[in-house]
Homo-oligomer: A and B are copies of this chain.
């Protein structure tokens, strides 16, 4: 047998102390900040999911779990901004030859691949097993070609969606780590249980050798607790095989190293997928034939482009129909050096911004005009901007790039400046009275920026 990875006791599996700390100190202070910050909370609101947000944070992941061939980093969802938006976020780093074990979650999600390339498999019950992998060289007596469900290539700039309860796995067949950020929409109607993020692993031992990890992604695999005989019966195998499935003493965690190349890869294989997909005409409407991914990084397909400003690409339910089902969409923003994005609010969605490159300044205001965020942001940080809150972004010297996950498959923004500005939508005289300005001043306000939403740095100054 060619495949020889065994339990690797040298795999470094450690938990950044911060995580435990957070877990330990929260209970005792549980009531305190709540009471301090809402001293005049009316009675009824204690029954409610209540979000009197005073301060947002641009945060790096708060918890990390190292596995044999990668790292899983979690933004712990007990922070107010995640709770209020009903979302959770995870960053995966999969090293070359790393395999993120098959798992499903209790909420639909979208993933953005910030770097690397690999292959991903998705398993939808009832979809045809139309893929055939080449036969392993060491297959001994098993003479049949391997059949399985759809696999597809994923690479930098791809947006990949997934319904709740649908299992996926990812393998890094490239030379560099795959880094991706996943946004889970816990408050989506497809998740019927609660706002806790749950990963269900079909294999391995996600928590590895650790006692604790971020509860969202650690634990045993789903077979672990079942009776050996019952499982042996269900699979018609011996109990030794069943014990292997349970991965009891597997120390590799949820991203494992595959010792030789997975032989599912063939060079022409991405085209084949396209072709096969087209053949499944009768199932056009089902998950079996829907595409799960689309690239959002192609400048030529930008929705908005301004010469010295930057560009915006979006992928919504019309471009990737799976997102219609998931009720999610994604915006990719690139601001050039010192450029700025129009102040705007999100009409019908929360926007969860992940900074992919560069630095910049972001300000966010709530309904009473108070800023709830005013800070410099940088690569690797994530910021939740609640629905209807007003946001401004300005790049610094190196520019600013981000991906925004939006909790609506047709997310709309309302710009406050530029060509589609809400200010332009109003008659001069309404603005003159409202702002106590002259007509000239109002006209400058309406027409001072002719760009759509990505504004180049000002040449003249006041």
Contacts and interface: CB of A to CB of B under 8 A. Distances in A.
Interface stretch (A110-118, A145-153, A272-280, A396-404): A145-153
Interface string A334-358: 0000001011011111100000000
A290 to B, nearest CB: 15
A435 B47 contact: no
13 contacts: A30-B42, A125-B414, A125-B420, A146-B427, A148-B428, A200-B390, A202-B434, A222-B390, A225-B363, A226-B363, A232-B462, A244-B437, A264-B429
Given A129-B425, A415-B125, A26 B43 contact: yes
A74 interface: no
A117 B230 CA distance: 38
A262 B417 CA distance: 23
Contacts of A392: 226, 230-231, 234
A78 B43 contact: yes
Interface in A55-113: 76-80, 82-86, 99, 101-102, 104, 106
A193 B407 CA distance: 11
A449 B104 contact: no
A126 to B, nearest CB: 6
Closest A-B pairs by Cβ, 6 of them = A219-B368, A42-B78, A220-B369, A224-B369, A238-B462, A203-B434
B241 A165 contact: no
A292 interface: no
Contacts of A41: 26-27, 30
Nearest to A1: B438
B83 A48 contact: yes
A169 interface: yes
Contact of A244 (B50, B363, B436): B436
A310 interface: no
Contacts of A370: 219-220, 224-225
B1 A256 contact: no
Interface string A212-249: 00010011111111110011111111110100110100
Contact of A164 (B141, B195, B207, B348): B348
Number of identical protomers = 3
Interface stretch (A32-40, A176-184, A312-320): A32-40
Contact of A365 (B30, B147, B225): B225
Given A126-B420, A414-B125, A148 B343 contact: no
Contacts of A16: none
A38 B435 CA distance: 50
Contact of A425 (B30, B78, B148): B148
- If over half of A's interface residues share one DSSP class (helix, strand or loop), that class is named, otherwise mixed; here it is loop
A429 B3 contact: yes
A1 B428 CA distance: 13
B340 A233 contact: yes
Given A41-B30, A230-B363, A367-B106, A125 B165 contact: no
Contact-size category for A? 35 or more
Given A43-B29, A235-B449, A250-B436, A347 B165 contact: yes
A208 interface: no
A6 interface: yes
Interface string A405-449: 001000011111100101111111111111111111101110011
A386 interface: yes
Contact of A444 (B241, B342, B387): B241
Nearest to A126: B420
A427 B146 CA distance: 7
Nearest to A250: B436
A230 B33 contact: no
Nearest to A451: B236
B369 A76 contact: no
Interface string A362-381: 01011111110010000000
A45 interface: yes
A163 B84 CA distance: 21
A191 interface: yes
A228 B350 CA distance: 26
Given A3-B439, A102-B422, A142-B443, 19 more contacts: A3-B432, A3-B433, A5-B436, A125-B414, A169-B426, A198-B366, A202-B416, A202-B422, A215-B368, A226-B392, A227-B374, A235-B417, A235-B444, A236-B448, A244-B436, A244-B437, A258-B429, A262-B429, A263-B429
